[in-house]
Amino acid sequence: MTEQHIHSTTILALQQAGRLVLIGDGQVTLHNTVFKQGARKVRKMSHGEILAGFAGSAADSFTLFERFESKLAEFGGQLSRAAVELAKDWRTDRALRRLEAMLIVGNGDHLYLLSGMGDVIEPDDGVLAIGSGGNFALAAARALLRADVGLSPREIAEQAMTIAAEICPFTNAHFTIEEVGTDGE
């Protein structure tokens, strides 16, 4: 996978107390040129019960969104099963193997990072981030959670992404935010 494709966005997921917030920036970059400010890289799936966000090539990501939606339908909305089956296909299918993207998928109960290497990773602390500003957003979100500053999960996600956008040239502050789970449906 080339860094140019995988690392040109920021997606952050924060899962806490049965609630999932998924936030993504809107910047579309090719090499060192910004082409678009307001892309939507986060979406609801499975009748609004599951969230998914991507970092990487847009065409590849849309292909993966479609495949993931098909897996959700095939397995009756079972997030964990659909995630594992997509990861298997992604790793073994000749065409899918060439896709350059990463996905974060989740609901109020489970959160996963999916990659073309067959990864299905569930974080210990309910926080995941991908893309060029992912480590900045991840660190900021964890710091805010540990400091127990009294912010809601959505507020923590917005603050963490704002910090990432201030540091990462491939991340902007035009956010798309989706929520599911307790108080977020």
CB 58 within 8 A of CB 44: no
Residue 58 has a pLDDT of 77
Cα 147 to Cα 50: distance, rounded to the nearest angstrom: 28
State which amino acid sits at residue 87.
Answer: A
Q: Does residue 183 belong to any structural domain of this protein?
A: no
Concerning whether 176 is annotated as a catalytic residue, the answer is no
| Amino acid 37: pLDDT | 87
Q: What is the per-residue pLDDT for 2?
A: 38
CB 127 within 8 A of CB 146: no
Provide the residue type at 181 as one letter. Answer: G
139: helix, coil or strand?
helix
Does residue 182 fall inside a structural domain? no
Q: Decide if 41 is inside a domain.
A: yes
- The residue annotated as part of the active site, out of 9, 10, 29, 171, is 9
Domain contains 118: yes
Domain for residue 101, yes or no? Answer: yes
- Is there a domain that residue 181 lies in? no
Q: What is the pLDDT of residue 18?
A: 93
Total domain count, the chain: 1
Task: Tell me the pLDDT of the chain (185 aa) as tens digits.
Answer: 334 344 478 999 999 999 999 999 998 887 778 888 888 999 999 999 999 999 887 778 888 899 999 999 999 999 999 999 999 888 888 777 777 788 999 999 999 999 888 889 999 999 999 999 999 999 999 999 999 999 999 999 999 999 999 999 999 999 999 999 875 45
CATH code at 167?
Answer: 3.60.20.10
In a domain, 19, yes or no: yes
Domain holding 57, by residue range, is 3-175
For residue 30, CA distances in Å to 22, 36, 100, 111 come to: 24, 10, 14, 29
Site of tokens 């201030």: 166
The pairs formed by 79-88 with CB atoms below 8 angstroms and a separation of 24 or more are: 79/46, 79/50, 79/105, 79/106, 79/107, 79/109, 79/110, 79/112, 80/110, 80/112, 83/110, 83/112, 83/114, 83/120, 84/120, 86/114, 87/114, 87/115, 87/118, 87/119, 87/120, 88/118
**Residue 67 maps to a domain:** yes
pLDDT, position 89: 87
Give the helix/strand (H/E) hosting 183: none
Looking at residue 1, its pLDDT comes to: 36
As given in the structure block, the two tokens for residue 36 are 């678009």
